[in-house]
A and B are shown apart, each in its own frame.
Chain A
């Protein structure tokens, strides 16, 4: 069946089966930043953002169910050639080792910060507990989210003056 998915603001017509998982549809559309890890809803590397404020493990949603929703993937985070504060913070804090979990971590952290712009360390660990890093690099991931929270809280333009 033909469906239309709006991914990172761009409408894409895709030919899928009802059983096609959203993670596969996104990757088949050429956006391979969304990874597939455990295939069992556990690891969170396939996390994407739905309608700006909710996160979903895209291996646990059929592509047809995403019709009519705005999907954001890691490719949609940088704007105008400038890294999103979360991406910049993961870079600055070395919030990744092998990098496989990173897209899911960033998308999950993005949603976490929408709901809680100034989280404590404990709240960050709680909020990211559905995302696994097999390198166990959690310490710097938490630091990166803390830095991103600070960057996002600065008034617009302040960062550019630094």
Chain B
């Protein structure tokens, strides 16, 4: 299958990239890893008239901690995250996700920021970014702005990136020693869309009660969703199996999956509930708290 023809731009600086995007508006798409965009173009689900290839831009491949944040530049590949020892030891949720995005070959090209910008309803990184309370840095002609992930993810395949803008960085708060997380995903086979998936992150107080909780679910609604009521139930409480069951039950009130070959709506909804519960138990176990 051959994509529709397009005009190819290969800017060598961020300024040049932004000016191409400003000139062509929504007719232009940013090409980073291309692991979602190119398949969509081959199926002619996407037919951008201009592609702005950012792969040659300098200084967007950084992956480091600064001021309490893990900063992920727009050209950081999934494998850069997957193979990073610091992330493996400290960022349990991110590390989990990095091992199950698409398949191992696709991860060599696919980017974290690109996945967030694509905002596929079944995207893995969106759920993780929600649970970890990530931020996005968006660059335009007149400077950059930082948005919370909740502001950034607008709707299926839609973000708050405006005409003439591009996302240049994702920021994940650095977990302290009382913070852990997990990603639980059911897929029919490696590389398929998730049947359902859940990202969770928990921060404990020194007394063992839950200080902060993040829960994101994906593949079970029009986009990845935050399970707000589940987070509210957990916050301030001592973790118990009953509490986890109650928090996970909140998933069923907001999940609204489409039935397809991967399962019925009822099945997917229930799996999302189960996966949130499993994720919470795993995250707590990683903090040496055993509830089940």
> What is the CB-to-nearest-CB distance from A42 to chain B, in angstroms, rounded to a whole number?
6
Q: Is the CB of A126 within 8 A of B42?
A: no
Q: Is A92 an interface residue (CB 8 A)?
A: no
**B51 beta carbon closer than 8 Å to chain A:** yes
With A55-B105, A60-B38, A130-B106: A18-B51 Cβ-Cβ less than 8 Å: yes
Closest to B51 in A: A18
Q: Are A115 and B83 in contact (CB under 8 A)?
A: yes
**Interface residues as binary, B73-90 with A (CB distance below 8 Å gives 1, 0 otherwise):** 000010100010000000
Closest CB-CB distance, B17 to chain A, in whole Å? 15
Q: Is B25 an interface residue (CB 8 A)?
A: no
Asked if A18 and B5 sit within 8 Å, CB to CB, the answer is yes
User: A127 an interface residue at 8 Å Cβ cutoff?
Assistant: yes
Q: Are B191 and A130 in contact (CB under 8 A)?
A: yes
A41: contacting residue among B7, B10, B35, B104, CB under 8 A = B35
CA distance in complex: A124, B43 (Å): 31
Cβ distance A72 to chain B, nearest Cβ, rounded Å: 14
Range for the number of chain B residues in contact with chain A: 20 to 34
Interface of chain A, helix or strand or loop or mixed?
Answer: mixed
Q: Which of A1, A21, A40, A44 contacts B105 (CB 8 A)?
A: A44
Task: State whether A55 touches B34 (Cβ < 8 A).
Answer: no
Contact with B along A116-152 (1 / 0, CB 8 A): 0000000000111111000000000000000000000
Contact B42 A44 (CB under 8 A): no
Contacting A19 at CB < 8 Å: which of B5, B55, B79, B108?
B5
Identify the stretch in A4-12, A27-35, A61-69, A153-161 within 8 Å (CB) of chain B at 4 or more residues: A61-69
- In this assembly, does B190 line the interface, its C-beta being within 8 Å of a C-beta of chain A? yes
Given A18-B51, A127-B104: A60 in contact with B2 (beta carbons within 8 A): no
Shortest CB-to-CB span from A55 to chain B, Å, is 5
Inter-chain contacts of A47 with B (CB < 8 A): 105
Whole-angstrom CA separation of A150 from B41 in the bound complex: 42
Q: Judge whether B1 is part of the interface by a CB distance below 8 angstroms.
A: yes
In the complex, the answer to whether B105 meets A130 with C-beta atoms within 8 Å is yes
Of the four ranges (under 10, 10 to 19, 20 to 34, 35 or more), the interface on chain A belongs to 20 to 34
Contacts of A21 in B (CB 8 A): 2-3, 38, 42
Report if B157 contacts A (CB, 8 A). no
Q: What A residues does B3 contact at CB under 8 A?
A: 19, 21
Interface flag for A39 (CB, 8 Å): yes
A43 to chain B, nearest CB (A): 9
Q: Cα distance A39–B2 when bound, in Å?
A: 9
The distance from the CB of B85 to the nearest CB of chain A, in whole angstroms, is 13
A42 to B35, CA, bound (A): 11
Measured CB to CB, the nearest residue on chain A to B9 is A18
Binary contact track A38-58/B, C-beta < 8 Å → 1, others 0: 011110100100100011110
- Give Cα distance in the complex from A128 to B41, angstroms: 26
B27 at the interface (CB under 8 A from A): no
Could you tell me the distance between the alpha carbons of A62 and B7 in the complex, rounded to whole angstroms?
12
- Please determine whether B190 and A130 come into contact, CB atoms closer than 8 angstroms: yes
User: Which of A21, A60, A68 counts the most B-chain CB atoms under 10 A from its CB?
Assistant: A60
Q: A18-B51, A19-B3, A40-B42 are in contact. Are A65 and B104 (CB under 8 A)?
A: no
Give the residues in chain B near A25, CB-CB below 8 Å.
Answer: none
B106, A57: Cβ atoms under 8 Å? yes
Nearest-Cβ distance from residue B161 to partner chain A, whole angstroms: 22
A65-B83 in contact (CB<8A): no
Q: Is B250 an interface residue (CB 8 A)?
A: no
Return A158 CB to nearest CB of chain B, in Å.
29
Q: Does the CB pair A130–B83 fall under 8 Å?
A: no
6 pairs of residues in contact across A and B, judged by CB atoms under 8 Å = A1-B8, A21-B3, A41-B35, A42-B191, A56-B105, A128-B104
